[in-house]
């Protein structure tokens, strides 16, 4: 058993900075055989760091990602839409929690990850630094943002790291519901009055390019892809996933009678791909550098929420301590 053999030699995550070539070879062979790596298995320090970074970034995205939609909760057009949107946002919070838990199995604490987010050290998905200006944005987020997230995350269910892969199974099921609810909003609006259709088109115009950027830089500029693919953390490259997303989405826009805001978009008969026009990577870089339209708002809102929730966490901890002391007293008295 590889797991046992690896663990016998190096049971402690702290020791994995010593890169024993035999262990490294066995580790890669395990991956090549499509065997999962589990929390207690030996792993190269760089594999651990890559996963800590990616899973934490993913968790932060789910948590920060609640804000653009939360903005419309009080203004949902019907009670039914409000209930659906609320459930969706709560799902995103849940995804953040599974993902923080998955990252914790790699030896990083929730507090450390939170501190990295609150101090601006950690990244979260660029898409959440854009504003939500009309109700149709709720449709566009579900359709495009959750749609892009599913395209990226279904392969993560086969990620080589077990706790991440398993967390992704439920996340993907829920994202699938999110995508459908978004497309349902878009359908209603695109097939509604002229004003509603214009709102749907406006939401598509603003959300399209940021959604395309969610997949990350072109493969040629992606610093982590090659290694992450060799480790089977990533199963497809950024560009491959982006292309799959565009191919899936163009017919959906056509069905809605909406126009994708890309004058250069064209179908290549030979490859069967919808080829996009040039992506504005300067905009992407600006957003990653903290200069997107809502970076400051998203971070300050999160910082405020954490500060204002301090008393709740203190009260919960005090209550738990009281319950535990009572249980101990009862045991001693018995």
153 or 201: CB nearest ligand FAQ:
153
43 or 141: CB nearest ligand FAQ:
141
Contact call for residues 207 and 169 (beta carbons, < 8 A):
no
Nearest distance, CB of residue 141 and ligand FAQ, angstroms: 6
138 or 200: CB nearest ligand FAQ:
138
Nearest distance, CB of residue 245 and ligand FAQ, angstroms: 12
Q: Exposed (0-12), middle (13-18) or buried (19+): which is 267, by Cβ within 10 Å?
A: exposed
Nearest distance, CB of residue 131 and ligand FAQ, angstroms: 14
170 or 224: CB nearest ligand FAQ:
224
Nearest distance, CB of residue 72 and ligand FAQ, angstroms: 12
Contact call for residues 233 and 199 (beta carbons, < 8 A):
no
Question: How crowded is the C-beta side of 231, counted as CA atoms within 13 Å?
Answer: 21
Q: How many CB atoms lie within 10 A of CB 2?
A: 15
**Nearest to ligand FAQ by Cβ — which residue?**
65
Name residue, tokens 């954490």: 306
172 or 198: CB nearest ligand FAQ:
172
Sites of contact with ligand FAQ (CB under 6 A): 53-54, 57-58, 61-62, 65, 92, 123, 125-126, 141, 145-146, 149, 152, 213-217, 222-225, 228, 238, 288
Residue 37 backbone phi and psi in degrees, to 5: -95, 130
Contact call for residues 168 and 157 (beta carbons, < 8 A):
yes
First to last CA, the chain: 47
Nearest distance, CB of residue 95 and ligand FAQ, angstroms: 7
Q: How many CB atoms lie within 10 A of CB 129?
A: 24
């Amino acid at each position: 058993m590889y797991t046992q053999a690896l663990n016998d030699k190096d049971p402690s995550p702290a020791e994995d900075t010593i890169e024993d070539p035999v262990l490294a070879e066995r580790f890669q062979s395990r991956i090549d055989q499509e065997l999962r790596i589990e929390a207690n298995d030996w792993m190269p320090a760089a594999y651990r760091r890559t996963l800590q970074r990616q899973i934490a970034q993913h968790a932060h995205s789910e948590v920060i990602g609640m804000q653009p939609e939360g903005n419309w909760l009080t203004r949902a057009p019907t009670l039914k839409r409000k209930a659906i949107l609320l459930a969706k946002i709560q799902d995103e919070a849940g995804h953040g929690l599974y993902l923080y838990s998955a990252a914790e199995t790699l030896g990083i604490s929730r507090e450390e990850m939170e501190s990295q987010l609150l101090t601006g050290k950690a990244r979260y998905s660029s898409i959440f630094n854009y504003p939500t200006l009309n109700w149709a944005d709720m449709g566009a987020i579900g359709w495009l943002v959750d749609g892009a997230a599913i395209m990226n995350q279904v392969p993560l269910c086969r990620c080589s790291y077990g706790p991440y892969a398993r967390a992704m199974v439920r996340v993907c099921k829920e994202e699938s519901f999110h995508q459908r609810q978004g497309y349902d909003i878009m359908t209603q609006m695109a097939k509604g009055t002229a004003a509603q259709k214009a709102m749907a088109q406006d939401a598509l115009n603003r959300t399209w390019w940021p959604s395309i950027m969610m997949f990350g830089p072109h493969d040629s500029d992606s610093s982590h892809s090659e290694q992450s693919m060799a480790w089977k953390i990533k199963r497809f490259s950024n560009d491959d996933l982006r292309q799959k997303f565009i191919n899936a989405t163009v017919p959906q826009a056509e069905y809605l009678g909406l126009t994708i805001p890309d004058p250069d978009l064209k179908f290549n008969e030979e490859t069967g791909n919808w080829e996009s026009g040039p992506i504005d990577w300067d905009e992407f870089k600006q957003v990653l550098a903290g200069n997107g339209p809502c970076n400051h708002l998203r971070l300050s809102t999160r910082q405020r929420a954490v500060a204002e929730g301090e008393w709740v966490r203190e009260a919960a901890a005090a209550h738990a301590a009281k319950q535990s002391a009572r249980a101990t007293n009862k045991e001693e008295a018995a």
